[in-house]
Amino acid sequence: MKTVGEVSALAGVTVRTLHHYDERGLLSPTGRTGSGYRLYSPSDLKRLQEILGWRALGFSLAEIGELIDDVGHDRLSVLRTQRELVNTELARLVGLARALDRAIATVEHGDEQEEESMFNGFDPSQYEDEARERWGDTDAYKESARRASGYGEEQRREISAEMQEIERRFIELKRSGSPANSEQALGVAERARLHIDRWFYPCSREMHRALGEMYIADPRFTNRYEALEPGLTAYVRSAIVANASGAEAHA
């Protein structure tokens, strides 16, 4: 068992912060000394690690409380989810760093940067931000993390298998020459939308359309699809847009 001062030094947070976490019910120490001082167990330290991970990713204390107290909470799933979110943030920062390097190089060489590409890398999440503005309080990023944090290994395998099957069908249709707006392609696009809606966050057809645009704009998605099949990114995007447009026409 460790005292609040020892935990403060170990985790790099203030004693006041630990007291605040206790008062909010986020991290109530397992034990107390005879004088009433807080004592933290190894389990408490693990919980604190998860809390600080979510905080570093920009989650509020209220949101963290829901995540760590979820009935399906699983520590391994939480850590893996946090790692995936860190990977996403790293990819964003790498893109930004490259964009800044390009801008610096043009200034150093006295060149003019091409306007068409000067903002590449500065905002790879532009379509997600637009979607958030259009759909009010829907926060896909945090809802996805909340759901994923409670998934076990079996559910993760099911999610992966479903996604691989959807990608396989897109590849088959593209290779066969089936148009992206064919009935078969629209069906796969709808399966992709429902996959997101079921496992990650509410995904309307309009939201899915915005994601399709992001697949084209964000190299993280483009690189993945192009590695599977050259030209697949544009094909998937077109199928998603056609599916959303078709549904609107029949609404």
Query: For residue 141, what is the domain's CATH number?
Result: 1.10.490.50
Q: Could you tell me if residue 21 is inside a domain?
A: yes
Domain end marker among 52, 68, 84: 68
d(CA 186, CA 184): 5
Are residue 131 and residue 239 in the same domain, yes or no? yes
Give residue 2's pLDDT: 93
138 in the same domain as 36: no
Domain-terminating residue out of 32, 48, 68: 68
Using one digit for the tens of pLDDT, what is the confidence trace for 109-126?
887 766 656 566 554 444
Q: Mean per-residue pLDDT for 74-79?
A: 84
84 within some domain: no
Structure tokens at 234: 């544009």
Domain termination residue (choose one: 26, 48, 68): 68
Identify whether the C-beta of residue 188 lies closer than 8 Å to the C-beta of residue 239. yes
**Residue with more model confidence, 139 or 200:** 200
Q: What is the pLDDT of residue 92?
A: 67
**pLDDT per position as a tens digit, 130-158:** 444 443 344 565 676 677 777 777 888 88
Number of independent structural domains in the chain: 2
67 Cβ partners below 8 Å, 6+ apart?
A: 54, 59, 73, 78, 145, 146, 149
> What is the CATH classification number for the domain harbouring 53?
1.10.1660.10
Residue 133's domain comprises 123-249
Could you tell me if 135 and 212 lie in one domain? yes
Q: 180 pLDDT band (50/70/90 cuts)?
A: very high
pLDDT tens digits along 228-247: 899 999 999 999 999 988 75
Q: Is the pLDDT of residue 77 over 80?
A: yes
Predicted TM-score (pTM) of the model is 0.50
The residue ranking higher by pLDDT, 160 or 239, is 239
Question: How much is the pLDDT for 115?
Answer: 61
Q: How large is the average pLDDT for residues 20-42?
A: 93
pLDDT at 250: 43
Domain co-membership, 61 together with 153: no
One-letter amino acid identity for 229? E
Mean pLDDT of 37-55: 93
Residue 81 covered by a domain: no
Neighbours of 72 (CB within 10 A): 11
